[in-house]
Structure 1
Amino acid sequence: MKVIVCGAGQVGYNIARQLSGEHNDVTVIDQSPELVRRINDNLDVHGLVGFASQPDVLEAAGAADADMIIAVTFADEVNMVACQVAHSLFNVPTKIARVRAQSYLRPIWRDLFSRDHMPIDVIISPEMEVARSAKRRLEVPGAFDMIPFGDDKLRLIGVRLTDECPIVDTPLRQLTELFPDLNIVVVGIDRGGQLLVPTGDDQMLVGDEVFFVSDKDHVSRALSLFGHEEKEARRIIIVGGGNIGLFLAESMERDHPSVRIKVVELNRERAEYVAERLERSVVINGDALDSDILIEANAANTETVVAVADDDEVNILASLLAKRYGCQRAVTLINNAGYGPLLTSLGIDAVVNPRASTVSTILQHVRRGRIRAVHSLRDGVAEVIEAEALETSPLVGVPLRDVNLPAGMIIGGVLRDDSVIIPRGDTVVQVKDRVVIFALADVVKRVEKMFSVRLDFFI
């Protein structure tokens, strides 16, 4: 597949890294010679210095025979025009644009991105994606990550194992024997920064970060088994009343009306605007690093603080201060991946990374075959994929124990109509089943092929 990526910032770099690593033909355009030099030096891509929306630059990037353009520059207008030019002059089939300004995304202007006007196939709003990601972490206390699949019938859960976990040092195959009616599959273990797909003989150790797929109805019991029995937050503090904080508060008001929300926003005008938009939430104009403000927000009796301000350091410090004043849990927005290894030891319970959220959303539309959902984990080290089983798939019609799955891939769950099936050795995948797969990066391409129609099927 030939892909043009407009923008060599963090998101563009990571998209290019993942796609080029899967042997796609990738060209990256950016105005910055320094960023283009970096991407040429580190990745197997073609970097091009230029203005991404200009026809001659797109032509030089190979737009005439490109399959897709992904526009993620820092300027919304450049992203939109690049997609328009790619469509009008080069007939590029798939066009994806990142758009930050919310004025473009208001429902009243929904026709703007129709095929008759500005034919962009997928619009990505980073702020909305981050707000959704933060909300998911609020809905499963005790987990540092939660990703829904199959209309939320299945969930991927990430948990850290502590001394309170009763099943550490137990081979995974014994867990199935001890809890045969518990519908979960452990699909990944991050140990010391190395992510592995476990076998039945592997054990989980204190300090491991474990990913498991579970029937939604079994999540609470599974979390208890992993040593996490935290209650769902009934009171939360949102630090930052920007677009992310506002979207999160609006979403929580709509879907969890009994939750009491307080939003702390430093800018007075913005605080007044947020207060007008929200129905039941309390908006406090003040500095979240001020102890008096945290006392006013009643941090001592709050289960969770969600820090989503525009500054990483403010988010980290506000999270730690809120916990010091009695808040039980912290969900923290971090842009700088370099802070990642420090956060757990500092006491941050869950991290939201805007880049990872945006990359996951884009990959969902990049993957070929009958791919319904894609989520990138650990900066692209692995992906969790939901795909529809086709008649030509080697998974279909045989017991899973007889399927030769590549190393680094494991099936976490199967959705058949409205039923959830947790896979065992005798499970047989049927045509049109939706299969949730955990795959390390080097086998993702093979997963795509397993869920793509082969040409010889029609011969």
Structure 2
Amino acid sequence: MRVIVVGAGEVGSSIAESLADEHEVVVVDVDGDRVEALTYELDVLAIEGDGAAIETLEEAGLAAAELLIAVTDDDETNIVSCGTAKTLDDVTTIARVRNTKYLDTWENAEGALGVDVMVGTNLLTARKIASMIGLPAARDVDSFADGTIQMAEFELATGSPVAGQTVAEADRFDDLTFAAILCPDDDGTCDEIVVPRGDTRLSAGDEVIVIGTDEAVTAFSHAVAPDDDYHDVLLVGGSSVGYQTARLLEGRGIRPKLIERDPERAQFLAESLPKTTVLQADATDRDFLESENIDAVDVVVTTLESDEANLLAGLFAKRLGADRAIAVVEEGSYVDLFETVGIDVAVQPREVAAEEITRFTREEHAENVAIIESDRAEVIEVEIDDESVFHDRTIQSAAADLPDGVVVGAIVRDGEFVRPRGDTVVHAGDHVVFFVETTALDETLAKI
């Protein structure tokens, strides 16, 4: 299949890399330096030009393409690229947008604006943040099987009750599977992915990935950090992400506080968020923060308009006593820096968008996809059919035909959770959630 990706930034490059092995990928960007760099880095055809222009799309081979993905940093360019493509050919189009007004328009009339699938980056980012607030100790959270199953990633802090135990000792939850352990090296990056056995020992600093029911994952979260519970949430910045996060938290019964410096924006937020206390103030004002009992805040979430402001606001709040900090970071290269200097979790909207779009491009094989540790592994949901290696076989038998680095994390049958064990028989129609190392992904998808 020929796929045209408009935009060679972080999102476009990530998507192109994930598709290049199985598809003919053409990447279009107005930036000649990006195009040249991509030509050397990936096995794709890179073209310099405007993805919203007819002549550029024709040069990219739109007539032979089945899918166009527009993921530049400009909403209007992405929408116009999709609309232009639709006037030329019957191609499936995906557009990434940040402004929720376009998402609202599209959702009210599916297929509007020439877009078949619209991915709202800010809303997805807010959902990611809200999910992590629901699991205080988690660094990452994703849902599968219509919310029946959760995947969560936890970093084991020094002093965690689970640190030092074997997997068998820590596995006190019937509906939970230890899918993988990411072992850090000296600089804190993932050095090794371990598929755990019962006698595998958990150490402080390890990042543990578990898959299971919402109740089991929540229970494990409390076992990892029994004292962590988010009641007092402070949002810094009334941006679109901040607003959407507050709205989602209100829906979960949490009454956050939100600090917004601009008086007009603060007024709008106060009128739009009835269960959120909106404070018009400067989030770097020490006296103000102390007067608002910053030392009692369980988590501060910084959603300002610049990475630097988010970093400083998060670190300042933690220095004054906030227990935990989540920060939005646009620049991918800053993520490790943020988490090294004291931000507990850095959420990158571009990565969230790339993950969502990758899910759509893999619909032939997978119902849902979560990308782990900068694409070192993926958690995927697959509906089993009679062509699958798992059809009417036990997990132990089918797993023998798969490469190393694959773990069955959960099974949902007719909407009900089925505990995956070696002697569990998998049937057609079951939704199975797998952990798969990226090196084993193509072979695994071909068999499951």
Shorter chain as denominator, the TM-score bin is over 0.9
Q: Distance in 1 between matches of 2:342 and 2:209?
A: 20
Asked if residue 249 in structure 1 is aligned to residue 246 in structure 2, the reply is: yes
Deviations 1:155-206 (A, max 9, x none): 111111133234445554x348x74x53221112221213514142543222
1:394 to 367, 389, 394: 389
Deviations 1:49-105 (A, max 9, x none): 11101122111111111121100122222211221222221221x210012233323
Asked if residue 291 in structure 1 is aligned to residue 289 in structure 2, the reply is: no
Q: What secondary structure is seen at the aligned counterpart in 2 of 1:144? A: strand
Q: What residue in structure 1 maps to residue 76 of structure 2?
A: 77
Q: What residue in structure 2 maps to residue 183 of structure 1?
A: 175
Distance 1:224 1:80, change over 3 A: closer
RMSD: 2.0
**Contact map agreement 1:137 1:146 (CA 8 A) in 2:** yes
Deviation of the 1:2 alpha carbon: 1.5
Q: Distance in 2 between matches of 1:195 and 1:118?
A: 45
Q: What residue in structure 2 maps to residue 215 of structure 1?
A: 213
Deviations 1:288-332 (A, max 9, x none): 122123224331222111111121222122112212222212111
Q: What residue in structure 1 maps to residue 187 of structure 2?
A: none
Structure 1 letter corresponding to 2:175 = N
Deviations 1:234-281 (A, max 9, x none): 22110110100001111111232xx23111112222222222211121
Asked if residue 267 in structure 1 is aligned to residue 259 in structure 2, the reply is: no
Q: What residue in structure 2 maps to residue 30 of structure 1?
A: 29
Structure 1 letter corresponding to 2:144 = F
Q: What secondary structure is seen at the aligned counterpart in 2 of 1:410? A: strand
Q: Distance in 2 between matches of 1:372 and 1:23?
A: 18
Identity %, equivalent residues: 31
**Contact map agreement 1:185 1:213 (CA 8 A) in 2:** yes
Q: What residue in structure 1 maps to residue 423 of structure 2?
A: 426
TM-score (norm 2): 0.92
Q: Distance in 2 between matches of 1:277 and 1:224?
A: 33
Q: Distance in 2 between matches of 1:43 and 1:170?
A: 42
Deviation of the 1:345 alpha carbon: 4.1
**Contact map agreement 2:232 2:299 (CA 8 A) in 1:** yes
Deviation of the 1:33 alpha carbon: 0.7
Q: Distance in 1 between matches of 2:191 and 2:412?
A: 30
Q: Distance in 1 between matches of 2:360 and 2:116?
A: 9
Residue pairs, 1:102-181, within 5 angstroms: 102-106=100-104, 110-111=107-108, 113-114=110-111, 117-172=112-167, 174-175=168-169, 179=172
Q: Distance in 2 between matches of 1:147 and 1:199?
A: 21
Residue pairs, 1:362-373, within 5 angstroms: 362-373=357-368
Asked if residue 95 in structure 1 is aligned to residue 90 in structure 2, the reply is: no
Deviation of the 1:140 alpha carbon: 0.5
Q: What residue in structure 2 maps to residue 457 of structure 1?
A: none
**Contact map agreement 1:55 1:85 (CA 8 A) in 2:** yes
Name stretches of at least 5 consecutive residues in structure 2 with no aligned partner: 185-189
Q: Distance in 1 between matches of 2:12 and 2:360?
A: 15
**Contact map agreement 2:18 2:358 (CA 8 A) in 1:** no
Q: Distance in 2 between matches of 1:394 and 1:113?
A: 36
**Contact map agreement 1:370 1:389 (CA 8 A) in 2:** no
Q: What residue in structure 2 maps to residue 18 of structure 1?
A: 18
Q: What residue in structure 2 maps to residue 9 of structure 1?
A: 9
Q: What residue in structure 1 maps to residue 350 of structure 2?
A: 355
Deviation of the 1:282 alpha carbon: 1.6
Q: What secondary structure is seen at the aligned counterpart in 1 of 2:69? A: strand
Q: What residue in structure 2 maps to residue 232 of structure 1?
A: 229
Structure 2 letter corresponding to 1:228 = A
Deviations 1:115-158 (A, max 9, x none): xx533111011111110110001000111111111222211111
Q: Distance in 2 between matches of 1:136 and 1:220?
A: 11
Structure 1 letter corresponding to 2:174 = L
Residue pairs, 1:373-392, within 5 angstroms: 373-392=368-387
**Contact map agreement 2:395 2:424 (CA 8 A) in 1:** yes
Q: Distance in 2 between matches of 1:80 and 1:210?
A: 39
Deviations 1:333-388 (A, max 9, x none): 12223333344443322221111110111011100425221111222222111111
Q: Distance in 1 between matches of 2:226 and 2:218?
A: 8
Q: What secondary structure is seen at the aligned counterpart in 2 of 1:217? A: helix
Asked if residue 449 in structure 1 is aligned to residue 422 in structure 2, the reply is: no
Count of paired positions: 440
1:302 to 278, 287, 297: 297
Asked if residue 51 in structure 1 is aligned to residue 50 in structure 2, the reply is: yes
Q: Distance in 2 between matches of 1:434 and 1:389?
A: 6
Q: Distance in 2 between matches of 1:12 and 1:401?
A: 38
Distance 1:167 1:247, change over 3 A: closer
**Contact map agreement 1:359 1:376 (CA 8 A) in 2:** no
Distance 1:356 1:185, change over 3 A: same
Structure 1 letter corresponding to 2:57 = L
Asked if residue 440 in structure 1 is aligned to residue 437 in structure 2, the reply is: yes
Name stretches of at least 5 consecutive residues in structure 1 with no aligned partner: 452-459
TM-score (norm 1): 0.90
Q: What residue in structure 2 maps to residue 454 of structure 1?
A: none
Residue pairs, 1:326-345, within 5 angstroms: 326-345=321-340
